[in-house]
Structure 1
Amino acid sequence: MTTTPGATTTALPASALPSDALTGKRRVAFASYVDENYLPGFLALLRSLALSNPGVCEDFVVLHDDLRPGSIARIRALHPRIVLRRVDTGHYDTYKKGDQDNYLVRKAYFILDVFRLREYDTVITLDTDMVVLGDLGELLRLREGLAAVPQFFYGQHKLNSGLLVIQREYLSDAFCAKLDATGRSGDYELDKHDQGILNAVLDGDFVRLDARYNFVKRRLSGDLPVPEDTAILHFTGRHKPWQGGEAGYGRAEERWREFELSDAEFQAAYLARPGTLHHDLLVHLGTPHVARTGDAESARKVAAAHIAAGDYQDAVDVLSGVHLPLDEAWPHEVLGHALMSVSRYDEARARLLLATAAPNRAATAYARLAQMAWVHGEHAESLRYATAGLSVDPTHRASRLWARRAASVPEQETGGAEDQLAHVAFYMDRQGNAGDKLLPETVRLGFGPDTTSRRWHSVHAHRLFDEAALERVNARRGLVIGGGGLFIPDTMPNGNSAWQWNVPDEHLRAVDVPIMVYAVGFNAFDGQSYRAGRFRESLRLLVEKSAFFGLRNHGSIARVRAMLPGHLHDKVRFQPCPTTVSRHLVPGWTDPAEREDTVLLNAAYDRAGLRFGHDYGHFLAEIAKAVRGIGAHTEVRCVAHSLDDERIAFDLRREHGISLPVIPMYDFDNDAIRDLYARTRLVIGMRGHAGMIPFGVGTPIISLISHPKMAYFLADIERPEWGVSVHDRNLGAVLTERATGILDRHATTVADVHERQQALWKVTEANAADLRAILGE
């Protein structure tokens, strides 16, 4: 296998790697050295970080050597992601120092242990005599070098080590060796301690940050006010605010005292912050606040955070534990949302009806009521609720969606039950995700050319699988499950299975026809998980009941097997997504005689925080470089699988002055989707099916990896070089090089796609023989 420059190779198979290693998502942490003397300063620092940057919550590494258990408990009470790391103090005893007997001098070196961290891509160090007053987004977005603010008194050549933004290349054994050699030689400013060593090693080679990110108090001598744009205020010198302070700096110390809060005061202050609050901080600080105060609005915020993370039962618990006044609609609406997500439908309906009394929550509450009615097959009731939502807000998107679904006429089945297979899938709406729209039909092609209702009985995965549905399925020849992101916790949550098929265990057990799970994927994002035991129980029962259990990539197989007892592992087998072999499945398929001189670009924006982290600005700038570079060879067009995918075109035009034609693939039928992808020369896609569909019709692909499943697929076809992380530091250059290389060797690459596809087709054919045997064909 060949690789192109910049391609990442690993000794481990993709299925064995952690998800962040597959997506390339940057792991970011803050770090401080903390001891008992500086503990009050560190607690103020933690509070200030949360209150000044309420949407930020990364790991905070606490380097220490003598913290007491009670002190650690106080630290943990303020931050949910504390990582304790004990310093090897003896290591620094080998360094030459200006005063060997001063314990403070000795401890000043311990922060250098931060360079021994290997788990992170970016580490931001903060001295414990700092408070954060402003937005740190610029620091979180830094990608290169070692960044710091130059020293106040020494010009631009030397840095102040109170704040460092350290990238991975410095978190290395080689850089640690340089620090150790300098420390042991004494060839540095001994009275500057760790800062002296860093300046000696770097010799001015660092990225300069604006002084507002390490604004030393000496700049405020004479009791000057703290400038409005100060992001981090640093109380350098011997006299610390928690020790009484220093004359002439009263106004600066007033800013520090803003964060000298009790835990209860801090929790209340965080809950009252405007804007987006980070899920981890909101849950960590909000839970004890709600338990102490019983405040309904705070409970609503905490519950909404739980819902956003897929922790639906936790959301129910927190709101059920407080008194909700009848006239406070929003908490009732959130509780209704949580209750319906755990399938407590009657209770959910009561809460949502209460919420409809408030004009500002009514449309959302009516849409959820319409959704629940649709889940239960009550079309007239669903349409009534959706119409009520639109009467409150004619622009309400969810109400319009449910009105359309409720008003749709079910397809008339033309075959007899004894000739049909039942098919559980996510049947996408007319303007829904193009990939999900194509999937059910393509799954059916895996069982033969007839995909119509003559042979198939449709079972929408999101509808409650009740006794009537069970009876209809048991009247068919078999049950096929596949089509749509079914093993994902949050698209349409339910408490019956905790995945996308809303099936109670008792009804799954009662299915008495062969069950065939076909090319389903484990679709959890990096940073997303199935927290409930309910999913594992439902999964185990499904595997036990299945006559065939095929997953679409080996990464999914590894993840699912890890949730199963050993005796079920061998039942989980590889079945490629049928979209990847469309050329062999679509009746009468012929490859296009000619291709358009275009490259199609797709970007996805669902769960954007999980996809991009702090790197969206970087991603957009690098994509702009790539579009210009590739555009010099061929026309680049934006292809939107869903409405939200069009954002890439808007953002490129607004931020970088690039205009791309937009192809609304969400409006296409299945033949048009395949045809468009077959006629282009290359597809650069972020969605899974923006890679698998074009590959399946013989078109070269480059995957923009923001989800592990992209890397899983490329590993299965043994072409990891056809993917690049959205977080890649040199994304624009790498993407341009790989795309132009494919365009220059297009016929060879198309032949390689066909060869890779042939291997998947052989697996599909072998599985098809087993499926025919199961069905007695």
Structure 2
Amino acid sequence: MTSTTVATTQAVTPATGPTARPAGGSANTLTGKRRIAFASFVDENYLPGFLVLLRSLALSNPGLCEDFIVLHDDLKPSSVARIRALHPRVELRRVDAAHYDSYAKGDQANYLVRKAYFILDVFRVRDYDTVITLDTDMVVLGDLGELLKLREGLAAVPQFFYGQHKLNSGLLVIQREYLSDEFCARIDATGRSGAYELDKHDQGILNAVLDGDFVQLDARYNFVKRRLSGDLPVPDDTAILHFTGRHKPWQGGEAGYGKAEERWRELELSDAQFHAAYLAQGKGAHHDLLVHFGTPHVRRTGDVESARRVAAAHIAAGEYQEAVDVLESVRIPLDAAWPHEVLGHALMSVSRYDEARAQLLLATGAPNRAATAFGRLAQIAWIHGDDEAAQRYALDGLRVDPTHRANRLMQRRTETPQAPPEGVAAEQLAHVAFYMERQGNAGDKLLPETVRLAVGTDGDTGPRKWLSVHAHRLFDEAALERVNARRGLVIGGGGLFIPDTAPNGNSAWQWNVPDALLNRIDVPVMVYAVGFNAFDGQSYRAGRFNTALRALVERASFFGLRNHGSIEKVRSLLPAELHDKVRFQPCPTTVTRQLVDGWTDPPHRENTVLVNAAYDRAGLRFGHDYGHFLAEMAKAVRALGAHAEVKCVAHSLDDEKIAFDLRREHGVSLPVIPMYDFDNDAIRDTYARTKLVIGMRGHAGMIPFGCGTPIISLISHPKMAYFLSDIDRPEWGISVHDKNLGAVLTERAVGLLDDHAASVADVHGRQQELWKVTEANAADLRVILGRPAR
């Protein structure tokens, strides 16, 4: 009987857990990641100034790209097009102009006076945590990074002529507490009463409402033109130059300010000039800006180096086909090794392997690109199961650069190992998983064994009962034949639904399987405890992933995802008739105590707290808040040191960064536990013997929880919130962006430590609920596997 028939004839009710409700909400709501935007009011009269402002922002801050809210009352479509050409993340919002007609004004008949109030609509924004307003008669000349780090109050530069208690409203840094109905009501009441400086318009209202209660910024962030009377030069440290007054640069300017206006006119550029200027800046460009400006520049010029940079930006964002498209649009000289290497990388990421080999072989001719090119050639050979060729390429790469890590790992991976004892095929299960190498991520190292314990083969997790199928290797005819000779196929666990860990064009997720071969698997297919692992800000190649996902769900006899958040995400991509096939199966690491034969809880725990931080995709994890996170963690580590010894536990080599950064930046020293070097028993033992684990990686929470140890999650990824929702303990999670992270973390950690016996008992109770689900699913799996394969 086919596994498809099993799935349709089996009346299996999806298991539910202690909280079967979805862990809904947007990704940034779950992670607490701050949403930041710039904002300006723009009309046709001030459009020339705004276009220059946008150019200046990109050229002075090439690595900065946040949403830009354009408040307007009636912009022409052609003007909107010009704005969008200069920023890839424009949010157009029409102001309620009539709302301000009730305000008392100094000159009701002057249309410019009326529009001066429209910027106050920014306080009606509700979907951002921080909004930075910029007047359209400004140019940005310096780094604005410090403004994005502000977390408190309403910040502005004090007025130049009016003393320190009044602000200039040309630049405002507004935090969420001011983006409220209550503050808008105060603005409205003041505006309608006329109890403010009428000739100062919006600025007069804000000064009346705030009465000096604002965070004062250095004058360089709103350096008014009037300070440069007499043709004085613009100071070198000026971050924002503000052309206050009636005479604007695009209207002819004003005598006595020639050097200031020269800085503005430098930015009156055509699109071609502007694109070239942005591309000329070299490193540090933001992905969105580089793609937005670089794509038309490449189309216009055919410049190969610009095409390489744009393609590399696409690759870094997981946009592999786009990278192929941009490099295939230009003529790459034979001796241009770097573009060939980047194109080879992009081609292998969409599974055009033969073409990728040709490009990479061309790249090996240049000493500065050869090691990387050989490493990618080794990867392609390994993907196709050719360990001998992979070994040769890796050694070629090491001859060029003996320190090249990827080639060293591949060389070790493809060394001829002692062949494991072979089991009887008909008695084995095939297991598709991500099999971690030496010094690899500790969580991924532990997962395959734990899945095998949970699926159940009498505790035997070795080659007698299991055939290992590496998810990242191409599932070809030979692999199909091997799998079809087994009792069934288990896929999981781990966060296999992620677009960039092992990119391929066959499935667009980690298992490199073409649909045609998936559909020819004749044995039961069981997807077990897989997670939807996209970060906040990450996306899949929707068409390919959605098609592959649907084919997998249709084919599966069992389809279990490790949290309800993943279930919600996956169901949203499937037709309604497949929703009921998607069920809850907790990650088996969360029930480790129930799975490991002979497990006994430790009679004594070390008085330690283990801290884990993750640094893969750091920009997606931390945004602009890494400095804040580090400072708050330093406070927490110092405070917790009075209660226990605090250590850094590193699941991978990169996780040690927190120990280096805390010592360098804050003088806090942490011993490091190199868990990436541990075997599975040592991983479990280390987590079972500590009192508390504070972890950012998913398995720095789930593994210690499974070992019976209290946890606190540092949330930088939605999956952390998903898990805590499933066990009904959201209070065990704290966003890495939390304004008071150090104090909150300390309070919660001390609470768990002070009544440690109760904390452990709570973990055990939560775990028991997950074990009930796992046992129920295991019973269903036994029924599925008890049926003969066709």
Range into which the TM-score falls when normalised by the shorter chain: over 0.9
Aligned residues of 1:688 and 1:709 also touching (Cα < 8 A) = yes
Deviations 1:592-619 (A, max 9, x none): 0000000000000000000000000000
> Are 2:397 and 2:407, in contact at CA under 8 Å, matched by a contact in 1?
yes
Determine the structure 2 residue equivalent to 1:8: none
Matches for 1:171-570 after TM superposition, within 5 Å: 171-409=179-417, 411-448=419-456, 449-570=459-580
**CA–CA distance in 2 between the matches of 1:13 and 1:526?**
21
Q: Which range moves more in the overlay, 197-206 or 408-417?
A: 408-417
- Per the normalisation by structure 2, the TM-score is 0.96
Q: Which residue of structure 1 lines up, in the alignment, with residue 13 of structure 2?
A: none
| More displaced 10-residue stretch of structure 1: 595-604 or 241-250 | 241-250
Query: Is structure 2 residue 785 aligned with structure 1 residue 741?
Result: no
Deviations 1:218-238 (A, max 9, x none): 111111111111100000001
Instruction: Identify which of 587, 598, 613 aligns with 1:588.
Output: 598
Rounded Cα–Cα distance in structure 1 between residues aligned with 2:183 and 2:21: 30
What is the distance in 2 between the residues matched to 1:459 and 1:563? 27
Contact persistence 1:413–1:457 (CA under 8 A) = no
Aligned-residue offset at 1:274: 2.4
The answer to whether the 8 Å contact 2:493/2:587 transfers is: no
Q: Residue 38 of structure 2 corresponds to which residue in structure 1?
A: 30
Percent identity of equivalent pairs: 81
Say if 1:411 and 1:453, in contact at 8 Å, map to a contact too: no
Task: Report deviation, 1:16.
Answer: 2.0
Q: 1:439–1:579: 8 Å Cα contact kept in structure 2?
A: yes
1:258 & 1:119 partners in 2: Cα distance? 35
Q: Report deviation, 1:692.
A: 0.1
Following superposition, the deviation at residue 485 of structure 1 comes to 2.5
Q: Structure 1's 324 and 588: CA in aligned 2 closer, same or farther, altered over 3 A?
A: same
- Mapping 1:750-769, distance limit 5 Å: 750-769=760-779
* Aligned amino acid, residue 240 of structure 2: I
Asked if structure 2 preserves the Cα contact closer than 8 Å seen for 1:214 and 1:234, the reply is yes
Deviation string for 1:310-357 (max 9, x for gaps)? 111111111111111111111111100000000000000000001111
Deviations along 1:534-565, one digit per CA (max 9) or x if unpaired, are: 11111111111110000000000000001111
SS at structure 2 position matched to 1:93: helix
SS at match of 1:16: coil
Q: Which runs of 4+ in 1 moved over 4 A?
A: 11-14
- Looking at structure 1, the residues matched to 703 and 585 of structure 2 have their Cα atoms a distance apart, in angstroms, of 16
In structure 1, the partner of 2:6 is none
For 1:622, the equivalent position in structure 2 comes to: 632
User: What residue number does 2:159 align with?
Assistant: 151
What is the match of residue 130 of structure 1? Answer: 138
Identify the match of residue 658 of structure 1 among 662, 665, 668: 668
1:715 — aligned with what? Answer: 725
Residue 410 of structure 1 deviates from its aligned partner by: 6.4
For residues 13-52 of structure 1, the aligned pairs below 5 Å read 15-52=23-60
Q: Return the alpha-carbon distance in structure 2 between the equivalents of residues 187 and 430 of structure 1.
A: 71
- Code of the residue aligned with 1:678 in structure 2: it is A
Question: Which residue is 2:742 aligned to?
Answer: 732
How far, CA to CA, are the matches of 1:255 and 1:659 in structure 2?
Answer: 47
2 CA distance for matches of 1:575 and 1:179? 52
2:394, 2:411 within 8 Å by CA — same for their partners in 1? Answer: yes
Pick which of 249-258 and 572-581 moved more: 249-258
Structure 1 SS opposite 2:522: coil
Q: State the shift of 1:399 in Å.
A: 1.2
- Conserved? CA contact 2:653–2:676, under 8 Å: yes
8 Å contact from structure 2 (residues 347, 356) kept in 1: yes
Q: Deviations over 1:464-499 (max 9, x none)?
A: 111001000000000000033311000110111111
> Over residues 652-674 of structure 1, what are the superposed CA-to-partner deviations in whole Å (9 max), with x where a residue is unaligned?
00000000000000000000000
Task: Between the two structures, name the one with larger relative contact order (CA 8 Å, sep ≥ 6).
Answer: 2
1:510 partner letter: R
Give yes or no for contact 1:215–1:232 (8 Å, CA) kept in 2.
yes
Letter in 2 for 1:287: T
Please state whether the residue corresponding to 2:102 is helix, strand or coil.
coil
TM-superposed CA distance for 1:283, in Å, is: 1.0
Displacement after TM superposition at 1:109 (Å)? 0.4
Please report how far the alpha carbon of residue 14 of structure 1 lies from its aligned counterpart in structure 2 after TM superposition. 5.4
Residue 88 of structure 1, aligned match among 70, 75, 96: 96
SS at match of 1:15: coil
Q: Which runs of 5+ in 2 are unaligned?
A: 1-18
Query: CA separation in 1, counterparts of 2:66 and 2:757?
Result: 46
Contact 2:493 2:531 in 1 (8 A): no
Aligned-partner residue type, residue 672 of structure 2: V
Asked if the contact 2:287/2:314 (under 8 Å) is kept, the reply is: yes
Aligned-partner Cα distance in 1 for 2:42–2:499 = 39
Distance 1:754 1:344 in 2: 49
Go from structure 1 to structure 2 and tell me whether the alpha carbon gap of 1:408 and 1:196 turns closer, same or farther (over 3 Å shift): farther
SS in 2 for 1:84: strand
Report the equivalent of 1:3: none
Amino acid at match of 2:448: P
Matched, 1:609 2:628: no
> Which one-letter code corresponds to 1:165 in the other structure?
V
User: Would you say the 8 A contact 1:14–1:711 is kept in 2?
Assistant: no
Greater shift, 395-404 or 343-352, is seen at 395-404
Mapped contact 1:14–1:22 kept (Cα < 8 A): no
Q: How far 1:272 moved relative to its partner?
A: 1.3
Matches of 1:484 and 1:558 in 2, distance apart? 17
TM value normalised by structure 1:
0.98
**Paired amino acid for 1:486:** L
Equivalent positions of 1:647-726 (< 5 A) are 647-726=657-736
Query: What is the rounded CA distance, in whole Å, between the counterparts of 2:249 and 2:418 in structure 1?
Result: 71
CA distance in 1, matches of 2:291, 2:182: 40
Measure the CA separation in 2 of the matches of 1:238 and 1:757.
69
Q: CA deviation at 1:415?
A: 1.4
1:155, distance to aligned residue in structure 2 (A)? 1.7
Residue 413 of structure 1, CA deviation: 3.6
Counterpart code for 2:573: M
Distance in 2 separating the partners of 1:177 and 1:150: 24
Mean Cα deviation higher: 696-705 or 272-281? 272-281
- Secondary structure at the counterpart of residue 521 of structure 1: strand
Question: 1:120 — aligned with what?
Answer: 128
Superimposed CA distance per residue, residues 353-410 of structure 1 (whole angstroms, 9 cap, x where no aligned partner)? 0111111111111100000001011111111111111111111111111111121526
What is residue 72 of structure 2 aligned with on the other side?
Answer: 64
Q: 1:460 is matched by which residue type in structure 2?
A: H
Matching residue within 105, 122, 130 for 2:113: 105
Question: What is the one-letter code of the residue matched to 1:615?
Answer: D
Q: Which whole-Å CA distance do the structure 2 matches of 1:153 and 1:73 have between them? A: 38
**CA contact under 8 A between 2:508 and 2:541: conserved in structure 1?**
no
Residue 275 (structure 1) shift: 2.1
Q: Unaligned 5+ residue runs, structure 1?
A: 1-10
